[in-house]
Chains A and B, each alone.
Chain A
Amino acid sequence: MKQDEFNTTKLPRGIIPPDPVGPDSLKGVPRQQTNPSRWDGTGWNAFVAELTSRDIMINQSLAGRSVYITDGGGVAMGLPRGVLVARSSEDVATILKAAQKYTVPVSVRGGGLTTEGECISFGGLQLDTRGMSNVLHIDEANLTVRTEAGIYWHSLAEALRRRGLDYISAPLNMTSSVGGTLGVGGIDINSPKFGCSADQAIALKVVTPTGEIVECSERENTELFERVLLGYGQFGVITEATLKIRPFTPITMHYFYYSSLRTAIDDLRFLVEEEAADYLGILTMLDRAINLLVAFDSDEKEREFFSRYKKRISGLGEIGFAIHMAAHYALHPWKAKEALYLLERKRSLLPELSPAAHMHGNKIIDRTVVFSRAVWKFWGDREMVIPDLATSSEKFAEAVERGNEVCRRYFPHYTLYCVGIKLFGSFENRPRYELSCIPPDAQNFGYGCEFEPMLGNHNYSRDHFQSFKNEIYDIGVDMGTSYYRFGGMMKGYIRRAFGDELVDKHLAMKQKADPAMILNPDVIF
């Protein structure tokens, strides 16, 4: 394909343009930025006029639009033409009907924590779902909650905690929204036990791209239910959700330390597949200082772990690892700088993971608060670049090691965050897994690794970031994995990783559901 064929600005909506990442993303070729082109605004004035006549006022001020200029990643930038904070499913339905009529792109945003620009509007309407943040009903007997889907998980937790309840699993980030999370999966460190957040959904209220308000579940309108969960916003806007919940329990956390990435990953896989703990994850400080987090909801589970599984893993306790590392650096004195970095990291990070106000004895009371604050404090730069790979169990160690090699070449310091994800069935009985972050060859459990550079005070160019991300994503293409960050600036990899047949199948479904292709354009298609 010639380079000039990538000029997509003149293509009518509904026609899928060649991918702007294109062949340039292949190895050995200079990387380019991949923001979608800005929509040209045709039909906007009529769209706004129609909504105004229905008492829906679009905020077109610079101040109002600037709030949405970027996402959690801070790399992609796009200014919407107008903004609306949706207050009801009916609002959303009216907007989508008008958007179909006037072919106005609508980008939906909850917490806005995407990192590949997925929720950014490049010239169309930015629909902020957080105006729908009410908890509608808590069923304490049956352990379910019905909530509006724009709500932050943290706000939902606030409402549940007062009744001694908690959500089951959600991203370790307090400002993720329920609807956004269900649309992309949602991984927690208890995902090895409970699966992704999308698997906690019992029923949804969805506004389809053509503006119908539909209730769906595993029994009612099942096809829509399966398309919307892990559907990356392509098949509807989730406005309400019924979720499973559970009694609140503080957790007991243990850390095991490794100097070998491969050994740590092998132990993670072993513990995940044995279901030996309630929470499991790997967080590295260096690729020779790896932290395996193991946590429990109950003392019984903790006792069982120590009696049955502890002796079968290789991780050291803090003192044992300190001695091991002291010996290593004594024999490698030229790496003193690295040792100092490690000491500083341990001194600053570890206390943040057990702050007194959020502890009760040795139990963490508010794990999401603790981890979310730590995430933003230590990794939350103005730009966050977090490419990832989602693989089967068999491919996981190789994928992480290859990704680690890429990280070493691009950044002096970075963190790898690895988790397991329980799967509930196959693509046949859970169509939601198809064309998603769930690896196509995973059986029972999937695994994910985020490669997160610590940017510190360095100023890196966008090209540097994009090159780094592309090299990680290239590993996925080579190995036939999936990606947790699935779309936006990396959407070019979706077709490459999953193949034309599967992508075209979903594209046909999308075109049928969204004739004008207005809902969340440039995310997947």
Chain B
Amino acid sequence: MPTNDISGYEKCNGCGLCTLPCPIWQQRHDALLTFAGRARALQGGAKPGEIRDSVDACLLCGSCEPAFAMDIRTVDITLKLRAALNGYSKEELPHGQVNQSSSGRALLVPNAALLENKDLLKHSARLLDIPVAEDNGSDVLEAFETGRRPKAGRAVSFIKTLTGIRKVITADGLLKRYMQAVLPGLEVIGLGEALLRLPGMQTALRPTDLYIIEARSYNMDFNRCMPFYTDISRQTGCAMNLDLQRIAIPTGGYTNTETGNEFTPQNTGQIRWILEGRSFNRIVVESVEDIGLLKNAEVDIPVVHVAELAGEDAP
């Protein structure tokens, strides 16, 4: 068995706070399928193979991490468990060097859904005034997410494409976590946040909007993102997919279904939970996948991508 240090789970005291924002909990209400359940099972002597269903079910949305009163890197532990179950060690991850000089470039790294939506990709890149990465590393990221070994040399070749890069803007929050592991120090920002920081974008949000944050990006960077988005919500009056703990509720739309979890594009349970009990006239999304999810949920309200707010007059 390759070495995957999964230490950290032993700190779990069973408080259950991590289950509150967990999308798997929200949909299934089965404690064993949550991080708390995995931690308790491991504490009780279960082997990783005995909790495979639970390990596979996780969306890696990171909503459990900021919920913890203790400092437990829940997603890292789950990723290591996945790797261990696939006979791969996270210690095999390559490591690169970040260009720390201010002359380094910024780069937009799209995910598969944004690549498919060429107009939106072009529009986003133009707004941000940065080039689009030729290699988005989606296969490398998929291997990272599923805990499998990437094709020989692919991780290294992908990282090489980031040589000289100072800052990455990503459409997939999981890339933040990957970069933290392989290129620590590289500044990685979610596409939604990057666009919202452009002049005039925030003022285009209306009090009658529901703004759906890409949860992986937000939750991984909770301490920085939470005040930023909370301020926007307070200033514009728009609602957001934040729970009472100010953790982003994931839609599940950007999850790799290869892992065996149940969040296919047809699973609209989470999006329905986000919409329930709220009144709004427009939905603004950061993640392209969420446009499809909302369509599948037959939501009869206009949906726009955050990039499409550019040029709108303030309400």
Contact = CB atoms under 8 A, between A and B. Distances in A.
A158 B17 contact: no
A66 B46 contact: yes
Given A357-B227, A369-B244, A64 B32 contact: yes
B236 to A, nearest CB: 15
Interface in A28-82: 59, 61-72, 74, 79
B243 interface: yes
A72 B20 CA distance: 16
A273 B13 CA distance: 37
A94 interface: no
B41 A130 contact: no
Contacts of B44: 62-63, 65-67, 69, 79
Contact of B69 (A66, A162, A377): A377
B226 interface: yes
Interface string B25-37: 0000111100011
Given A67-B32, A67-B40, A377-B69, A369 B13 contact: no
Given A67-B40, A155-B20, A175-B20, A380 B226 contact: no
A89 to B, nearest CB: 15
A64 B14 contact: no
Given A61-B50, A66-B45, A131-B30, A72 B15 contact: yes
A133 B29 contact: yes
Nearest to A378: B69
Contacts of A68: 40
Nearest to A164: B277
B20 A154 contact: yes
B69 A373 contact: yes
A207 interface: no
Contacts of B244: 154, 157-158, 161, 366, 368-369
B3 interface: no
B69 A380 contact: yes
A376 B51 contact: no
> Which 9 pairs of residues, A with B, have the shortest CB-CB distance?
A66-B44, A162-B277, A175-B16, A376-B69, A63-B46, A63-B41, A377-B69, A63-B50, A67-B40
Interface in A472-504: none
Contacts of B245: 366, 369, 373
Nearest to A365: B244
A357 B223 CA distance: 11
Residue from the set B11, B13, B16, B278 with the largest chain A CB neighbour count within 10 Å: B16
Contacts of A70: 14
A353 to B, nearest CB: 14
Contacts, number: 109
Nearest to A382: B13
A341 to B, nearest CB: 21
B15 A380 contact: yes
Q: How large is the interface on B (under 10, 10 to 19, 20 to 34, 35 or more residues)?
A: 35 or more
Residue from the set B13, B15, B41 with the largest chain A CB neighbour count within 10 Å: B15
Contacts of B36: 67
B31 A175 contact: no
B100 interface: no
Contacts of B276: 159, 162
Given A67-B32, A175-B15, A373-B17, 13 more contacts: A59-B32, A62-B41, A63-B41, A63-B46, A66-B40, A66-B43, A66-B44, A67-B36, A67-B44, A130-B31, A150-B29, A152-B16, A357-B226
A515 to B, nearest CB: 31
A68 B40 CA distance: 8
B230 interface: yes
A67 B19 contact: no
Interface string B219-256: 00000001100100000000000011110000000000
Contacts of B69: 373, 376-377, 380
Contact of B45 (A62, A161, A373): A62
Residue from the set B17, B40, B54 with the largest chain A CB neighbour count within 10 Å: B17
Given A356-B227, A377-B69, A74 B29 contact: no
7 contacts: A69-B44, A70-B14, A112-B16, A113-B16, A154-B20, A357-B227, A380-B69
A293 interface: no
A362 to B, nearest CB: 15
A377 to B, nearest CB: 4
Interface of A: 59, 61-72, 74, 79, 85, 111-113, 128, 130-133, 138, 150, 152, 154-155, 157-159, 161-163, 174-175, 356-358, 366, 368-369, 372-373, 376-377, 380-382, 384
Contacts of B31: 67, 85, 128, 130
A69 B19 CA distance: 17
B210 to A, nearest CB: 11
Contact of B14 (A74, A79, A130, A369): A74
Contacts of A174: 17, 20
B41 A66 contact: yes
Contacts of A133: 29
Interface in B259-313: 276-278
B37 A357 contact: no
B34 to A, nearest CB: 9
Contacts of B29: 85, 130-133, 150
A177 to B, nearest CB: 10
A455 to B, nearest CB: 11
A85 B51 contact: no
A229 to B, nearest CB: 24
A130 B34 CA distance: 13
Contacts of A69: 40, 43-44
Contacts of B37: 67
Residue from the set A63, A358, A380 with the largest chain B CB neighbour count within 10 Å: A63
A397 to B, nearest CB: 32
A70 B43 CA distance: 11
Contacts of A85: 29-31
Nearest to A66: B44
Given A63-B44, A67-B32, A112 B230 contact: no
Nearest to A150: B29
A357 B230 contact: yes
Residue from the set B40, B44, B50 with the largest chain A CB neighbour count within 10 Å: B44
Nearest to A366: B244
A381 to B, nearest CB: 7
Contacts of B246: 357-358
B231 to A, nearest CB: 10
B32 A63 contact: yes
Nearest to B278: A162
Residue from the set B32, B50, B278 with the largest chain A CB neighbour count within 10 Å: B32
Contacts of B51: 63
